[in-house]
């Protein structure tokens, strides 16, 4: 089977990481749509596997949790029996995200529905990557309470931060803008959280960036969607310099001692292919 060379792979992945759609990447790189899609899935899988391997025994101390709505193929309300049969995973997909408030690292994420089962799977995975006691802040989704109890037990300082929304005012403002935040309600669930660091601001701002980068073209396959998320998080954690920290989050967290490049993703992919061939 013919494979793209290293330079072509680097160009394609660079375009995808800049938020270009698959069709736009095809036009700019002159690589076939099938090859771009295949490379996206392969690179996303390798990036996900690498982060799963190295994000262990992390010394995170303040974590913020949030979930972001998206969809695969079409929105849930538009899923027909025919679409459900034709496209596995079609409909709403929620991205569960944890962010370290100090290093800005995203150590864990999960795609799924917004159920208790998914919440437990997400928090269990997060807890398995940490060393030491942490302070956790989540939004008001009640599934977090049981999930964190099951994963951390009493070894956590946990607060729910619930935003209180009011009327947006005029009709046009209600139509095009979310309701205004009128206040917040804090509920300490476990431990003794530091009041100075009870917040979900960092993870919510991060999710706004994720929404912007991933909404240029929605995925038509859940496999592509998962690959795009893993690839984007790899670039965020290892390649992009955080403006405030002036290093990549993975460097701030002590996971790596250097700033990675897109060519390093290609090298990881080539290693995986060589290992598979052997």
**Predicted local confidence at residue 209, as pLDDT:** 81
Instruction: Tell me the domains of the chain and their CATH numbers.
Output: 6-277 (3.30.420.10)
Pair of tokens at residue 228: 């795009």
Using CA atoms, how far apart are residues 63 and 81, in angstroms rounded to an integer? Answer: 40
* Predicted pLDDT of residue 198: 95
pLDDT category of residue 193 using cuts at 50, 70 and 90: very high
Average pLDDT (219-235) is 90
pTM of the model: 0.89
Cβ atoms of residues 248 and 240 within 8 Å: yes
**Residues 44-55 pLDDT 10s:** 999 999 999 999
142 contact partners, CB below 8 Å, separation of at least 6: none
Read off the pLDDT band of 194 (50, 70, 90): very high
Helical (H) or strand (E) element with 62: strand 62-72
Question: Which of 65-74, 119-128, 150-159, 176-185 comes out lowest in average pLDDT?
Answer: 176-185
Closest CA to 16 of 193, 239, 185, 194: 239
Both structure tokens of 254: 């002590």
Helix H or strand E segment including 70 = strand 62-72
Q: What is the mean pLDDT of residues 161-184?
A: 66
| pLDDT mean over 200-222 | 75
Q: Taking residues 60-81, report their average pLDDT.
A: 92
Residue 85 has pLDDT above 80, yes or no: yes
């Amino acid at each position: 089977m013919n494979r793209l060379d290293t330079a072509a792979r680097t160009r394609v992945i660079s375009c995808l990481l800049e938020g270009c759609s698959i069709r736009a990447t095809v036009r700019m790189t002159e690589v076939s749509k099938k090859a771009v899609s295949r490379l996206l899935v392969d690179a996303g899988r390798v990036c996900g596997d690498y982060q799963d391997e190295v994000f262990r025994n992390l010394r995170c101390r303040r974590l913020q949790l949030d979930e972001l709505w998206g969809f695969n193929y079409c929105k849930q309300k538009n899923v027909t029996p025919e679409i459900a049969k034709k496209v596995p995973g079609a409909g709403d997909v929620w991205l569960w995200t944890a962010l370290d408030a100090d290093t800005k690292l995203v150590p864990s994420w999960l795609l799924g529905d917004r159920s208790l089962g998914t919440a437990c799977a997400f928090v269990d995975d997060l807890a398995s990557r940490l060393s030491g006691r942490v302070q956790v802040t989540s939004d008001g989704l009640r599934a977090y309470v049981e999930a964190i109890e099951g994963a951390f037990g009493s070894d956590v300082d946990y607060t729910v931060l619930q935003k209180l929304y009011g009327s947006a005012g005029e009709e046009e403002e209600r139509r095009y803008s979310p309701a205004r935040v009128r206040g917040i309600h804090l509920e300490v669930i476990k431990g003794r959280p530091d009041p100075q660091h009870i917040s979900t601001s960092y993870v919510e701002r991060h999710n706004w960036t994720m929404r912007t980068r991933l909404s240029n073209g929605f995925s038509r396959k859940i496999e592509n969607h998962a690959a795009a998320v893993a690839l984007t998080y790899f670039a965020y954690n290892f390649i992009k310099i955080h403006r405030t920290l002036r290093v990549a989050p993975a460097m701030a967290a002590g996971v790596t001692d250097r700033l990675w490049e897109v060519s390093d993703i290609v090298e990881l992919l080539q290693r995986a292919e060589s290992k598979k061939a052997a």
